[in-house]
Amino acid sequence: MRERPTTAITNVVAWEALDSRGRPTVACRVQLSGGAVGRAVVPSGASTGAHEAVERRDGGARYDGWGVRDAVAAVVNELGPAVSGLDATNRARVDARLEDVDGTPDLARTGANAVLAVSLAAALAGAEALGRPLWQALADSDGSAATSPTPLLPMPMVNIFSGGAHAAGAIDIQDVLAVPLGARSFAHALELVARVRAATARLLEQRHGCSALVADEGGLSAPLPSNEAAVALVTEGIEVAGLRPGVDVSVAVDLAASQFGTAEGRYDLRSEDRVLDRDAWLEELRRWCERYPIASLEDVLHEDDWDGWTAASAILPAACQLLGDDLFATDRHRVGEGIQRRAANAVLVKPNQAGTLTRAERVVRVAHRAGLATVVSARSGDTEDTWLADLAVGWRAGQIKVGSTMRSERTAKWNRLLELQHDFGAQAALAGPEVLGRTRPVRASQR
């Protein structure tokens, strides 16, 4: 008698849950014929890019319009039945069916939040049925795993200070982060950035007389006199923590410039009462790179200013990672365009910008093939789920960004990576400075 397959999808249920901002989000559970279960709760951004897959919201008065009952109904009535009977371990097939059922390129009809919930829950159920953690199921189906079998833990990029849409506009730029490039292990990396966060909080109190507020991603926030002051503050935080800026810990900045800039090149720094054109803004950033130990700059310009991005690549230091978030929106066509135009040297990968795990995975492959770095990223509205950590390891992304070292939706991901470090034991390698994007090859002396 033929063995009964155990990986066929038999049941898909969904419900409305809450994200870390207290807004509704889609939760989904997928069950397989052999009894394995996968469950996922999808994240949601605040500084959402114009080119992302479209999140479906109910509108109306309930939860100020943020409800997702229609997206949940789409899972129950359309997406779930459509994937019923499919083999959950065949992620590409499941995701292709989900895309077909939706029928729109940006998944707006059923909702990218509905589609991603099923995509993730099915992938988790498939891995469970095979008795593998998700990272391993992903690595097994990626050709590169065969040639580099040692698992690679990602270099974390950790939020220390927030402004913009993550902190009620305290300053214009969105996030100043710490990258512990001198860390010896993943656990050591977290220890270093926790020291920087604590020192920066003390500095804020002493210098600016304010006990810092906790922003959406667990970073500190306070109204500072200028945007540059936030970069200076975190740099000083590294020093006060007894660490060497640029050696033990470097700085990364997510400008999120689409939030205060235009495609025509007008950058309105409200907190400083200054408006700069594109050239003056890039010159400002170039000066920051001279003054501070900046290893990575994200979304330096508006998401539709392709020419500006090409110019930025030429103007900003070749050793600096130039990272596209809203620019690429985890879309492989936009990443392809960026590669052609030499518009950036690294890609932020947010699964909910893509809408399915398969789409996000393709973006990672396209980027790596072209020599671009990748940073797997959470959203400012996130959940207690930990799958993002597994994606970073399974795809050998090299870098991960999930917010600060506090708030449980953030620590859930760090704690999963600590668990993996424990499980890998002596095999665990932490990605080093070489995983960061560079525009041109840099001589060792310039690094």
Listed ranges 15-23, 64-72, 338-346, 374-382: which one lies at the site for ligand PGA (CB under 6 A): 374-382
Please state, in angstroms and rounded to a whole number, the distance separating the CA atoms of residues 382 and 428.
Answer: 27
Verify whether residue 350 is a known catalytic residue: yes
Closest CA relative to residue 349, chosen from 305, 312, 401, 281: 401
CA angle 231, 235, 239 (to 5 degrees): 165
Segment near ligand PGA (CB under 6 A); pick from 39-47, 106-114, 244-252, 405-413? 39-47
CA–CA gap between residue 277 and residue 264 (Å, rounded): 9
Site residues for ligand PGA, window 254-283 (CB under 6 A)? 254, 256
Which residue in the set 58, 216, 217, 325 belongs to the binding site for Zn ion (CB under 5 A)?
Answer: 325
Residue 102 touches Zn ion, criterion: CB under 5 A:
no
Three-class SS of residue 307? helix
Q: Are residues 332 and 363 in contact, defined by beta-carbon separation less than 8 angstroms?
A: yes
Q: Which is nearer to ligand PGA, 87 or 325 (CB)?
A: 325
For 410, phi and psi rounded to 5 degrees? -85, -50
Q: Which of 47, 374, 404, 439 binds ligand PGA (CB under 6 A)?
A: 47
The residue annotated as part of the active site, out of 52, 298, 303, 350, is 350
We find the least distance from the C-beta atom of residue 429 to ligand PGA, in angstroms, to be 26
Strand-pair category, 294-298 with 250-254: parallel
Question: Helix (H) and strand (E) counts for the chain?
Answer: 15, 17
**Partner whose binding site includes residue 405, from ligand PGA, Zn ion, none (CB under 5 to 8 Å by kind):** none
β strands within 181-264, DSSP E: 213-214, 220-221, 250-254
E-assigned strand segments in 42-153: 152-153
What minimum distance in Å lies between the beta carbon of 326 and Zn ion?
7
From residue 389, alpha-carbon distances to 34, 98, 384, 419 in Å are 26, 24, 12, 10
Question: How many C-alpha atoms does 268 have within 13 Å on its Cβ side?
Answer: 9
Q: How far is the CB of 403 from Zn ion (least distance, A)?
A: 12
Q: Which one of residues 102, 217, 254, 409 is an interface residue with Zn ion (CB under 5 A)?
A: 254
Report the C-alpha dihedral over residues 343, 321, 219, 58, rounded to 10 degrees.
Answer: 30
Among 235, 296, 380, 421, which residue sits at the site for ligand PGA (rule: CB under 6 A)?
380
28 or 256: whose CB is closer to ligand PGA?
256
DSSP classification of residue 213: E
Q: Per-residue x/- mask for ligand PGA, residues 128 to 167, rule CB under 6 A?
A: -------------------------------------x--
Of residues 377, 386, 404, 439, which one binds ligand PGA by CB under 6 A?
A: 377
CB of 201 to ligand PGA, least distance (A): 21
Tokens linked to 239: 């020093």
Catalytic positions, written as ranges: 217, 350
Positions touching ligand PGA (CB under 6 A) are 45-48, 165, 174, 254, 256, 325, 377, 379-380
